[in-house]
Copies of this chain bind each other. A is one copy, B any other.
């Protein structure tokens, strides 16, 4: 999705080219690369949202710290993602590099100006925000109604899908983040994540290939994993009965 992969020094320097661009990513194409080493912060929740960023390489986590000091990770960001479009002056969350990260920066002022002018760009921005909203909804569903096993399976499948989309279908995936990150993202403890992972291995659903801290995982039985994720649409076997709960629709 949203290609525009690595436009290493395109020769185009014409400013009006912006108007021919079909992608939001083009806005960043003349910005210099920046690098973040693992663990470094990109911005904090309280910061003025002065810049917008395009991720070129690596993984970021976006999160909030709550009163008792715990951390809630609300999402991960990967290459081709754009971050910082949280409207309203201030970022809604902090962002840190999980791995080493390469990115480009654009001032919000220029980003907003470009989007305002272009009839091509505006729908793209809406689509982006829409995706973010949909992801937030999915996460709410996950957090409010799934158990540890379902959460982990959902996470593994989502990660697999994303990596398959960007680099061809595969049965193997890499988890750039550590167990603690996964735990904070799924609303679990690190121990539960670890135990559940072992349980999945025991069931033959997955296989842990990695030896280092950066884990690689093979999905042995994708279908089983999908069933265990708990958002199976297997309305095929049971009679169509849409309104079962919700009560007062008599």
Binding site for B on A (CB under 8 A): 38-41, 64-72, 74, 86-88, 92-93, 96, 116, 119, 122, 126-127, 129-130, 132-134, 136-137, 139-141, 143-145, 180, 186-187, 230-234, 244-250
Closest partner residue, chain B, to A184 (CB atom):
B144
Copies of this protein chain in the complex: 2
- In whole Å, how far is A71's beta carbon from the nearest beta carbon of chain B? 6
Q: Is the CB of B69 within 8 A of A130?
A: no
A64 / chain B contacts, CB cutoff of 8 Å: 137, 141
Contact of A245 (CB < 8 Å), options: B69, B92, B141, B233? B69
Q: Is the CB of A145 within 8 A of B92?
A: no
Closest partner residue, chain B, to A241 (CB atom):
B69
Q: Is the CB of A247 within 8 A of B87?
A: no
Closest 6 CB pairs of A and B: A144-B187, A39-B248, A87-B130, A143-B143, A136-B136, A88-B130
Residue from the set A41, A116, A129, A141 with the largest chain B CB neighbour count within 10 Å: A141
CA distance A186 to B144 in the complex (A): 7
Q: Is the CB of B130 within 8 A of A66?
A: no
A231 / chain B contacts, CB cutoff of 8 Å: 66-67
Q: Is the CB of A71 within 8 A of B140?
A: no
Q: Is the CB of B133 within 8 A of A86?
A: yes
Closest partner residue, chain B, to A187 (CB atom):
B144
